[in-house]
């Protein structure tokens, strides 16, 4: 973040948000509010944390990022375009026939580490990548971003047991805790609370943060390394639909598609202008 | 087969430095030699097959060559979606090994029977389905799966199966092995039914029928050349498997034959029934219950020839 010519991660997140709102409208693709709630985490990681190289997408010692809540794919795509893994022009093909930018990520797309979209797959996959780093004496870290609804899946808890048993210190998972899942409050659908205590009791190093505060996000992951003794779980309190006033904490936007007028209003709120800015590349 | 697998694994651990063994809290002492020689490449993943399969995918995506191992129904159906999405979709080199397949664990009850695994796994794109016939083929199958480097399911029996091949035959995934020559009919034996297939051929010989016996160890991809020759030259083509008839190897041949317009009236599929088995007793008794013995098979073949 020392490079003053670069957009701050906060400004970047606003730009990303405006872009995914317009992508949702163009593709008539759902899950917009899910993409907005995790956008600060995605933006901060791709802006300042992940050691990755678009010229070498398969570089062996790259940091891994798995968007386990694959339905927020648009959030990943704008970040991959920002880093140069895909052309910015490709974003306009989101959800179109012939495009690899499907509504859930495919590993055929450069920069996508795992096929996600069926919930509960990312954390076991990430455990394997973190274990591989140890076996191969590499130093990369593995980051997995999950939703709170995803924690309904038993495989998440299987992976929590495994990561703690193997002391996978290079593994860091986030829960985008926006308090909603598809059809209801995540605390009510299943007994998710107390989520922080659950992960602590599973043997993880748990950090509870405001998932929209970039300094807190950066601080929560700075210790993650192959030398750490425990895997890290960041329980990030977020607001579904964050950044667009008429979408915030309204679960209708799990599936709703914004109109052209709503796209303009969102852009005005997020970037102070109606017309879309070209994405600033890293 | 279990012991042959463990021995081969230990040896291949030396030659394949990227091989990583994941076990689902099973095989007590079985893998001690591998663990002793390669302690950083053996992980007991506990009774958590979905996670084990996801871990395997993550390892494979990072350049390693993982093998997952536990009792067949738990290592296939329990974690089927992980096999489908984490392994097969990205076409990763994960080897899924099921032990106690078919009716090997007959006495343990239907929870431990595996009469559906071939049917289900062969529907997955990129997957290879391999059913070795004896301990010799187990080693060869593992070696060839490591060469192949694609999603591969290896279906093992238990321990103590007879060694059938006097010397190791040429073994390639997707190519059947002719074990005995015969001109009248062919028995395509899948996995651990090979001893029964040979007994059947012996008994048919006494009735004046010469049966060719093939170890059709790979159900996906099928050996199309071998099948084409079989339907062209033989009066009856028997597919014999310790697996349910619905969707098994016989079904795979049926689909192939329908597509190729061969004479499917020659096909005789012999396998398990469409019901859960109970009160089985031993594997042999369970096979008797299902008509999977030479005594039950011979009259069916003779009936086709009549």
Distance of CA B129 to the CA centre of its chain: 7
Provide the 10 A C-beta neighbour count for residue A162. 26
**So where are chain B's domains?**
2-155, 177-305
Cβ-Cβ contacts under 8 Å, B55 against chain A: 124-125, 127-128, 131, 159, 162
ipTM, two decimals: 0.95
Beta strand spans in chain A (E): 64-67, 142-147, 171-177, 180-181, 184-185, 205-210, 232-237
CA distance A113 to chain B (A): 8
Whether B270 contacts chain A with CB within 8 A: no
Residue A119 has pLDDT above 50, yes or no: yes
In whole angstroms, what is the distance from residue A63 CA to residue A40 CA? 18
Which residues, at least 6 apart from A237, have a Cβ–Cβ distance to it below 8 Å?
A177, A208, A209, A210, A211
Instruction: Give the pLDDT band (50/70/90) at residue A273.
Output: confident
Helices in B78-223 by DSSP H: which ranges? 80-82, 117-121, 135-148, 194-206
Cβ-Cβ contacts under 8 Å, A158 against chain B: 46, 48, 50-51
Beta strand spans in A118-255 (E): 142-147, 171-177, 180-181, 184-185, 205-210, 232-237
Question: Which among B50, B59, B90 has CB closest to A131?
Answer: B59
Chain B residue with minimum CA distance to A61? B62
Residue A168 has pLDDT above 70, yes or no: yes
Length of chain A measured in residues:
282
Which pair of structure tokens corresponds to residue A54?
């678009």
Contact between residue A43 and residue A279 where contact means Cβ atoms under 8 Å apart = no
Instruction: Give the pLDDT band (50/70/90) at residue A2.
Output: very low
Instruction: Give the pLDDT band (50/70/90) at residue B100.
Output: very high
Return the closest-CA partner of residue B235 out of B176, B181, B177, B301: B301
Chain B residue with minimum CA distance to A112? B90
Cβ-Cβ contacts under 8 Å, B83 against chain A: none
Mean pLDDT, chain B, integer: 97
**So where are chain A's domains?**
9-271
Phi-psi region of A44 (alpha: psi -120 to 50; beta: other; left: phi over 0): alpha
- CATH topology (fold) of A9-271: Rossmann fold (3.40.50)
Whether B43 contacts chain A with CB within 8 A: yes
For residue B27, what pLDDT is reported?
A: 85
For residue B68, what pLDDT is reported?
A: 98
Cβ-Cβ contacts under 8 Å, A118 against chain B: 81, 85
In the block, which residue shows the tokens 């007590």?
A: B28
Provide the 10 A C-beta neighbour count for residue B276. 10
Contact A128 B48 (CB under 8 A): no
pLDDT tens per residue, range B131-141? 999 999 999 99
Residue B23 has pLDDT above 50, yes or no: yes
For residue A176, what pLDDT is reported?
A: 98
% residues pLDDT > 70 (chain B): 100
Question: Which among B41, B54, B82 has CB closest to A135?
Answer: B41
Distance of CA A5 to the CA centre of its chain: 25
Contact between residue B173 and residue B148 where contact means Cβ atoms under 8 Å apart = yes
Residue B215 has pLDDT above 90, yes or no: yes
Residue A84 DSSP label: T
Chain B residue with minimum CA distance to A122? B54
For residue A68, what pLDDT is reported?
A: 98
- CATH topology (fold) of B2-155: Rossmann fold (3.40.50)
Chain A residue with minimum CA distance to B51? A124
Which residues, at least 6 apart from A70, have a Cβ–Cβ distance to it below 8 Å?
A104, A105, A115, A116, A117, A118, A119, A122
pLDDT tens per residue, range B246-300? 999 999 999 999 999 999 999 999 999 999 999 999 999 999 999 999 999 999 9
pLDDT tens per residue, range B24-56? 999 889 999 999 999 999 999 999 999 999 999
Query: How many contacts (CB atoms, under 8 Å) link A and B?
Result: 102
Instruction: Give the pLDDT band (50/70/90) at residue A276.
Output: low
Which pair of structure tokens corresponds to residue A127?
């455990």
Residue B227 has pLDDT above 60, yes or no: yes
Return the closest-CA partner of residue A156 out of A123, A180, A188: A123
Give, in words, the CATH class of B177-305: alpha beta
Instruction: Give the pLDDT band (50/70/90) at residue A1.
Output: very low
């Amino acid at each position: 973040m020392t490079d003053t010519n670069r957009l701050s991660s906060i400004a970047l997140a606003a730009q990303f948000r405006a872009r995914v709102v317009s992508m949702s409208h163009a593709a008539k693709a759902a899950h917009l509010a899910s993409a907005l709630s995790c956008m600060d985490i995605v933006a901060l990681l791709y802006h300042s944390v992940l050691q990755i190289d678009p010229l070498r997408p398969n570089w062996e010692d790259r940091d891994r990022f798995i968007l386990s809540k694959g339905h927020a794919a648009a959030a990943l795509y704008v970040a991959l375009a920002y880093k140069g893994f895909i052309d910015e022009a490709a974003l306009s093909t989101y959800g179109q026939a012939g495009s690899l930018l499907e509504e859930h990520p495919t590993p055929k797309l450069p920069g996508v580490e795992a096929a996600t979209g069926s919930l509960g797959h990312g954390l076991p996959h990430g455990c394997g990548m973190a274990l591989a780093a140890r076996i191969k004496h590499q130093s990369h870290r593995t980051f997995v971003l999950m939703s709170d609804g995803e924690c309904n899946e038993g495989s998440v808890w299987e992976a929590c047991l495994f990561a703690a048993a193997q002391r996978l210190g290079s593994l860091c998972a986030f829960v985008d805790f926006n308090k909603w899942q598809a059809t209801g409050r995540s605390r009510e659908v299943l007994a998710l609370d107390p989520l922080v205590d659950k992960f602590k009791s599973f043997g993880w190093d748990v950090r509870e943060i405001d998932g929209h505060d970039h300094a807190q996000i950066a601080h929560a992951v700075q210790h993650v390394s192959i030398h750490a003794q425990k895997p890290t779980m960041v329980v990030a309190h977020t607001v579904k639909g964050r950044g667009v006033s008429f979408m915030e904490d309204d679960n209708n936007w799990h599936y709703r598609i914004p109109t052209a007028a709503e796209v303009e209003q969102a852009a005005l709120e997020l970037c102070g202008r109606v017309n879309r800015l070209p994405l600033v590349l890293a | 087969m279990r012991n042959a697998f463990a021995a081969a694994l230990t040896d291949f651990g030396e030659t394949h430095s990227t091989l990583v063994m994941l076990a689902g809290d099973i095989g007590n002492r079985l893998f001690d030699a591998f663990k002793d020689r390669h302690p950083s490449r053996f992980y007991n993943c506990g009774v958590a097959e979905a996670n084990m399969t996801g871990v395997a995918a993550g390892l494979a995506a990072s350049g390693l060559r993982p093998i997952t191992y536990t009792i067949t129904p738990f290592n296939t159906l329990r974690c089927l979606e992980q096999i489908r999405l984490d392994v097969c979709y990205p076409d990763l080199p994960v080897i899924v090994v099921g032990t106690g397949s078919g009716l090997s664990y007959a006495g343990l009850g239907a929870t431990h029977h595996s009469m559906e695994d071939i049917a289900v796994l062969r529907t997955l794109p990129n997957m290879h389905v391999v059913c070795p016939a004896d301990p010799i083929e187990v080693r060869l199958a593992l070696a060839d799966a490591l060469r192949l480097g694609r999603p591969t399911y290896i279906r093992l029996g238990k321990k103590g199966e007879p060694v059938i091949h006097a010397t190791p035959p040429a073994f390639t995934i997707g190519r059947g092995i002719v074990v005995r020559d015969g001109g009248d009919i062919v028995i395509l034996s899948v996995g651990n039914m090979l001893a029964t297939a040979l007994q059947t051929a012996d008994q048919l010989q006494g009735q004046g029928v010469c049966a060719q016996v093939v170890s059709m160890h790979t159900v996906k991809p099928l050996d199309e050349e071998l099948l084409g020759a079989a339907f062209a030259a033989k009066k009856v083509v028997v597919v014999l498997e310790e697996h349910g008839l619905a969707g098994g190897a016989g079904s795979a041949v049926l689909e192939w034959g329908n597509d190729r317009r061969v004479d499917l009236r020659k096909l005789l599929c012999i396998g398990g029934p469409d019901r859960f088995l109970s009160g089985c007793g031993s594997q042999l008794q369970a096979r008797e219950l299902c008509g999977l013995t030479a005594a039950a098979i011979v009259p069916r073949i003779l009936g086709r020839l009549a």
